[in-house]
Amino acid sequence: MSYGVNHFMKIGFLYDMPYPWHKGGIEQLMMNEAAELAKSNEVHFLTLRWPGMEKEFVHNGIHYHAYARMDEKTAYRGGRRSIKEASIFAMSAINLFRFKFDAVITDAFPFLHLPTVRLYCRMNGCKLVINIAEVWRREYWKKYMGKIKGEAAHRYSGFAMKPESKYVAISSSTAALLQKRGIPRGNIRIFSPVIDDRLIGRIRRESGERKERRIIFSSRFIKEKRVDKWLEIFAEAHKKDPSVKGLLIGEGVEEASIRRDIKRLGLGKALIIRHFYSKKEDLYREIARSAAMLHMSEREGLGIVAIESVALGTPVVLPNYNEMPKEVREMCVVADEKKLADKILEIINSSNKEKYIKNTANLGLFSISKTREVYGRLIR
């Protein structure tokens, strides 16, 4: 089937953790893609049924189908994604055969569903596009799952990523790692639709140039985000300048531990912790009003909230071990962990926050408005 940007198609998305019922960077990215493509196509989203979801409904122009029940307790084990969750999702992928799609778009994680998706596409002659946020090395698989299970998962992930498929990598570093796993460069498109230019422009105009003496961060509360380290850096900065405040926005399995750390460090009056906002613009307002964002994650395939922060005119500070891709790191302030508190204070006390944001031309790589053009070329 030929395809142009405005040609109507029936497109199926397949992902286990849908936004906003499960909040996270990749979840947001998948929703952005589906909602943008739904403006000129019939889009269906096959997923797991999280609390608050019906089996079938329409949201943001997307037809959702959520047959298998899932909750946080089942999805995570010891703070990590569980094999049980991946298995349930893989079994639920059989529901693809209820539909006749022209194209299927899915994320590679959690991998177990990919054989069923490939079988469906071969049997129905439809295009398959696989989104890749991260390509984990063998060492990280073992760290995440243990030596034996991690080795098995690493090998299986390599087997699951077939070289003939089309891939959308969220960054050049992810694309390079895909190539090392045997995927031809010609089958990879680098694209990360995370910036809603109109919304961010409006929030930035509303917020003006005034910044509060505040450090902010928003993320899922999981071990990889290293919120414990974030609190230590914030505590150091606050000790040197008690006027500095903090705001942590998020939810997740590490919340109880984070609250204990806040109490242990005596930060109860200096730091606010709150759950995710129901509306994106409310998060954007908080970011735009903050003097700096501190991002301590040890593993980051893209760093969506960092890109959003830069777009909103709020400098982002990273430790030098952070693995954000080149396109994002170039826009941020990167420093040794021991110097982060002083760097944050320097930014807060500066009358020109903009000088700490560089290479803003990179923001053009993350525009949601390009979604239909990119996928139009991939699935025509």
Contact 316, 305 (CB under 8 A): no
Element (H, E) at 349: helix 340-349
Range list of H helices, 55-131: 72-75, 83-92, 114-124
Same domain, 217 and 332: yes
Residue 111: phi and psi, rounded to 5, are 75, -40
The reply to whether 287 and 161 lie within a common domain is: no
Q: Are 176 and 236 in a shared domain?
A: no
Residue 261 tokens read as: 């750390």
Q: For residue 307, give the H/E element and its range.
A: helix 304-311
Domain count, the chain: 2
Q: Is residue 236 part of a domain?
A: yes
- 246: enclosing H helix or E strand: strand 245-251
- For residue 252, being part of any structural domain is answered with yes
User: Got the DSSP string for 25-38?
Assistant: HHHHHHHHHHHHHT
User: Are 80 and 94 in the same domain?
Assistant: yes
Judgement on whether residues 243 and 374 belong to the same structural domain of the protein: no
Rounded mean pLDDT for each run of 10 residues along the chain, 380 residues in total:
58 96 86 94 97 95 96 86 93 97 95 95 95 88 89 89 89 90 92 89 90 95 93 97 97 94 95 93 96 89 88 95 87 95 97 93 86 87
The CA distance from 351 to 346, in Å, is 10
In this predicted structure, what is the pLDDT of residue 3? 39
Considering the domain architecture, whether residues 125 and 187 belong to the same structural domain is answered as yes
Residue 155 sits in the same domain as residue 204: no
Give the C-alpha separation, 126 to 8, whole Å: 14
Task: In whole angstroms, give the CA distance from residue 119 to residue 2.
Answer: 22
Residues 251 and 183 in one domain: no
The pLDDT assigned to 5 comes to: 43
Distance CA 197, CA 363 (A): 10
Report yes or no: 170 and 133 within 8 Å, Cβ to Cβ.
yes
CA dihedral 354, 363, 34, 185 (to 10 degrees): -150
How many other CB atoms sit within 10 Å of the CB of residue 128?
A: 24
DSSP E strands in 203-268: the ranges are 212-220, 245-251
Give the bridge partners for 56, in sequence order. 65
Domain of 304 in residue numbering reads as 197-364
Please report the pLDDT score of residue 217 as a whole number.
Answer: 95
The answer to whether position 246 is within a domain reads yes
Examine residue 30 and state whether it is found in any structural domain, yes or no: yes
Query: Could you tell me if 222 and 210 lie in one domain?
Result: yes
Same domain as 202, residue 317:
yes
Same domain, 201 and 169: no
Cβ atoms within 10 Å of 235's Cβ, excluding its own: 20
Cβ density class 303-322: b for 16+ within 10 Å, e for less: bbbbbbbbbbbbbbbbbeeb
H or E stretch at 318:
strand 316-319
In angstroms, the Cα distances linking 131 to 150, 190, 257 are 22, 10, 32
Q: What is the DSSP letter of 252?
A: S
Tell me, yes or no, whether 237 lies in a domain.
Answer: yes
Strand runs labelled E in 51-172: 56-59, 62-69, 76-77, 80-81, 103-107, 127-132, 166-169
In a domain, 3, yes or no: no
CATH number, domain at 242? 3.40.50.2000
**Whether residues 272 and 347 fall in one domain:** yes
Global confidence as pTM: 0.71
Is 375 among the domain residues?
yes
Residue type, 271: L
Structure tokens at 271: 């730091």
333 within domain boundaries: yes
Copy the structure tokens of residue 183: 């995927």
- The confidence score (pLDDT) of residue 143 equals 86
